[in-house]
Every structure is written in structure tokens, then in C-alpha cells.
Amino acid sequence: MTAPTTAPGRGRWIEHWDPEDEGFWERKGRRIARRNLALSVVSEHIGFSVWSMFSVLALFMGPEYGIDPAGKFFLVAVASLVGAALRVPYGFAVARFGGRNWTVISAAMLLAPTTALLVVMEPGTSYTTFMLVAVLTGVGGANFASSMTNINSFYPLRLKGWALGVNAGGGNIGVAVVQLAGLLTIAVAGAAQPRLLLAAYLPLIVAATVLSARHMDNLGPVRNDTGAAREAARDRHTWIMSFLYIGTFGSFIGYSFAFGLVLQNQFGRTPLQAASLTFIGPLLGSLIRPVGGRLADRLGGARVTLWNFGAMTGAAGIVVAASVRESLALFIAGFIVLFVLTGLGNGSTFKMIPGIFQAKAHAMGLTGEAAAVRARRLSGASMALIGAVGGFGGVGINMALRQSFLTSGTGTGAFAVFLGYYVVCAAVTWAVYLRRGVGRAGGGGGGAGGVGDGGGRVRAAAAGEEESRAAYARV
């Protein structure tokens, strides 16, 4: 098997990449993939910190800023909205420019919102100016799509759940880290010194940019493929998984942005008291995400996702009850559990995506490298769309909370809506990917993440997509 090669004159481009070949993987692939994964995590981590910066800076915005709670919810919603929208072009940029090249560009772009915040973060700045800077912070959220699309191409199917979980979890934890840094800043320097927090991130962004340029790689086989984007957009599973990812990642990022504001405005916590609690949920949710991916590798992503949505429904019920009773202890406990479950669900849902497209490739009669190539190109394109739609869930959560506070002064109504959404997500997961007898016509077995036997694939190809759904229960 040919070893990875670098094309002369093209920078760090690897022209041959076959992670499904175990010999190739053990000789060269694993080491290269892990190096790129580690550096991808660094850049994505800082991107998430910049994206969620307003959720922390809102704690520094006292009455002298002249922004009411609804206005603060709207600022973080704008940041969430822009980050979600930019995930589509960012996801496809990897194939156009190369994973390394785009990581360098996207990391360097984080300097713009951080520098802008450093300049404008003071009383007397207009709300319009803060809105414009919130738009700039969206570039940090978009990094997720390009990072996940890139890492998806480096790893074999059997390890994608773990690899994508580590990559996303390492990025997600940037939310908790910036919130913890905000707590430290408030505790040491007071709520009047937000610029200290912002100044600390400028050298980190520069370091991430330089490290990515020096040590990451582009994959030559990952070429700009508009056909894959169109095909992924036409596939109904892209949109079904987007709906489910709203429930997991949309909840994670929405709650991460809003938790401190709810503690301040519904439970009367001071900025320091709120900051001392807000980082815990995002931290645990981020750390648990690789576990969700690993469980999905072993048990099947659809099964883990179904049980996770059931548990999220129960946790949301606790949050609703705590909000009605105005019990801070119960509210925090319910929210922490909910954060952990969003992390698990993030890992299991993203593991499902490459497995679904692998099953579809086998259903068409493809085998071996042909099936792996088709699954990689379509799952990569699909991830860009799914990541974007999932990010819009964070917008929905903050807008729902904004409306709930405007209407009733509490978040109870919004929390009840979120509970209902988790019930629907559980029902969709079961109906599409796990319902007994759906599409089963005698296809063969297979482990978690596997597909049926050759005869099952032939019958699936003959019967079309409906036949292949038996394999999706094992993705």
C-alpha cells in the first residue's frame, strides 16, 4: 500500500489516504490522524470560546450598560444565529481549500471579533455596536463544521464515534473554559474589567494559527465536490439527523449561552455567583461527548440516542418543576444533568451520520473502498448541513427564553417547550431508525456500525432505500 505522500509545490498535501486499510492505518495513518485531531481540537476550542464570549460578557454588563435581560438574550442569540449560518460554507471550505489551510484561515479570523470586543467593551457603547460585534463572534461557532468535516475524513468508520467525539468535545469545552476564565476575572479584578479576559485570548489565537500552519495536513483525496453537497441536501436522512441534532447540540449551545442569564434574572444571582455556576454544565457536557461517541461505537448510535432523549425528557421535567417552585438547588441539579445528556447525545448523533451513509452505500451494492469513499464524501457534506441546523437550535432556545421572560418574567414556558421537543426527538429516532419490521426483508447481521450480509445488500439495492433501513438501527 502506498504511504502518504506530499505533492511538490502544494504545501502539506497528502495525496493517498485509506484509513479503512488496517495496514496503512497502523503504519502511517494513526499517527497522522492523531496529530491533526489534536491541533483541530485546539483551534476549535478557541473558536467556541470566542463564539460564546457574549454569554460571559453579559455577566459584566451591569446597569451602567443600559441593556435589559431581553436585550442580552438577543445578543447571544445573534451570535448563535451567525455561527450556525456560517457552518454551511465553512463545512464545504475544507474540500475547497484543504483542512490544514482552512484551519489556519479560520483560526486567524478569530482575531477580528476578539479585537473588536477589546475596543468596544465599555459602558456607553451603543447596542447597535454590540450587535455588530456579536455578528463577528459567529465565526467562532462556524469553526466546528470545518473541523468535524476535516477530522471525519482522517479516521476509519470503526473509530469515527470516538474521534468525532473527542474533536467536538474538545471544542465544546471552550465554552466552559471561557466561562471559568470569566469567573476568575470577576473574582480577581471585578466585573468592571472585561478587557482582561479578552486580552488573554489574543496570544492564544495567534499560537493556534501558527501551530496549525506548521503541523497540520491537507488530504488530497478530499476534493471540492458540489455533487456531494447537492446529494446530501436531497437525502432525507440529512434533515432527520438535523432535527435530532437540534435537540442535542442546539440544547447544549443554547443552554451554555443562556444559563448565566437565567440564574441572574430568574434567581437573582450576582455576576460572581452566576459565573461560579455557569461553567459546570458546559464542562461536563463537553467531557462526556467522547463517551457518547464511544458508546455509539459499541452499542449503535440510534439506540444510545433514543435512550438519551428519553433521559433528557426526564431532566427537562425536573427543570420545569424547579422553575415553577423557584427552587435554585433543584434547578441547578436538573440543568447539570441536562447538560451531561446533551453531551452524550451530541456524541451518539454524530456517530450515526457516517454509519447511515455507509449503510446506504452498501444498500446500493458498493463494497470495500468504493463504499468507504462514497460514505466519506456524503457524510462530510451532510455534517456541514447538520452542524449548521443544530446550531440554529441555540438561537431557538435563546429566543424562546427571551419571549418567556418578556411574557411571564421566568423561563418556565420555554423549558416546557424544550421538554416537548425531546419527546418528539425520541419518537422520531425510534420510528426512523429502530422500529421493528421497518424495511426488514431478511438482511444479514452485523455489529454496531455494521451493515447486513451481501445478500441483504443486493435485496436492499433492489428495493431501494426502504430496504436499507434495517441497517440504520446499527449505525
2 belongs to a structural domain? no
* pLDDT (mean) for 82-90: 91
Q: Do 351 and 395 fall into the same domain?
A: yes
pLDDT recorded at residue 449 = 38
The per-residue pLDDT for range 356-385, each reduced to its tens digit, is 988 888 888 877 777 877 887 888 788 888
Maximum alpha-carbon separation in the chain? 71
383 belongs to a structural domain? yes
How far apart (Å, rounded) are the C-alpha atoms in residues 435 and 430?
6
In this model, does residue 447 exceed pLDDT 70?
A: no
A 10 A CB-CB count for 172 gives 29
Q: How far is CA 470 from the centre of its chain?
A: 27
Residue 106: domain span: 17-219
38 belongs to a structural domain? yes
- 353: enclosing H helix or E strand: helix 328-363
Q: Do 24 and 141 fall into the same domain?
A: yes
Q: Do 311 and 207 fall into the same domain?
A: no
Provide the CATH number for the domain around residue 123.
1.20.1250.20
How far apart (Å, rounded) are the C-alpha atoms in residues 154 and 224?
16
5 belongs to a structural domain? no
The per-residue pLDDT for range 223-240, each reduced to its tens digit, is 655 577 788 889 999 999
Cell numbers placing 470: 434495517
- 134: enclosing H helix or E strand: helix 127-154
- CA angle, residues 301, 354, 444, in degrees to nearest 5: 70
144 belongs to a structural domain? yes
> Could you tell me what percent of the chain has a pLDDT over 90?
52
What pTM, to 2 d.p., does this model score?
0.78
DSSP letter string over 83-140?
HHHHHHHHHHHHHHH-HHHHHHHHHHHTHHHHHHHHHH-STT--HHHHHHHHHHHHHH
> Could you tell me what percent of the chain has a pLDDT over 70?
88
457 belongs to a structural domain? no
Instruction: Pick the range with the lowest mean pLDDT from 131-140, 250-259, 340-349, 368-377.
Output: 368-377
**Three-state SS for 257?**
helix
Cell numbers placing 252: 447544549
Domain boundary among 219, 238, 256: 219
Cell numbers placing 192: 468592571
Q: Do 368 and 348 fall into the same domain?
A: yes
Domain boundary among 175, 200, 219: 219
Please list the residues that pair with 218 across neighbouring strands. Answer: 13
How far apart (Å, rounded) are the C-alpha atoms in residues 400 and 337?
21
The pLDDT mean for the chain works out to: 85
Half-sphere exposure of 153 (CA within 13 A, CB side): 32
* Pair 301, 351: CB distance under 8 Å: yes
pLDDT recorded at residue 445 = 29
pLDDT recorded at residue 226 = 59
The per-residue pLDDT for range 158-176, each reduced to its tens digit, is 888 889 889 988 998 999 9
The per-residue pLDDT for range 431-446, each reduced to its tens digit, is 999 886 443 322 222 3
Q: Do 244 and 178 fall into the same domain?
A: no
* Pair 167, 307: CB distance under 8 Å: no
182 belongs to a structural domain? yes
Q: Do 61 and 205 fall into the same domain?
A: yes
Q: Do 207 and 244 fall into the same domain?
A: no
Number of domains in the chain: 2
Please choose, from the candidates 164, 142, 39, 13, the residue with its C-alpha nearest in 3D space to the C-alpha of residue 81: 142
In this model, does residue 3 exceed pLDDT 60?
A: no
**Three-state SS for 44?**
helix
Q: Do 233 and 312 fall into the same domain?
A: yes
266 belongs to a structural domain? yes
Q: Do 96 and 237 fall into the same domain?
A: no
How far apart (Å, rounded) are the C-alpha atoms in residues 202 and 50?
10
Q: Do 194 and 319 fall into the same domain?
A: no
**Three-state SS for 3?**
coil
Q: Do 208 and 244 fall into the same domain?
A: no
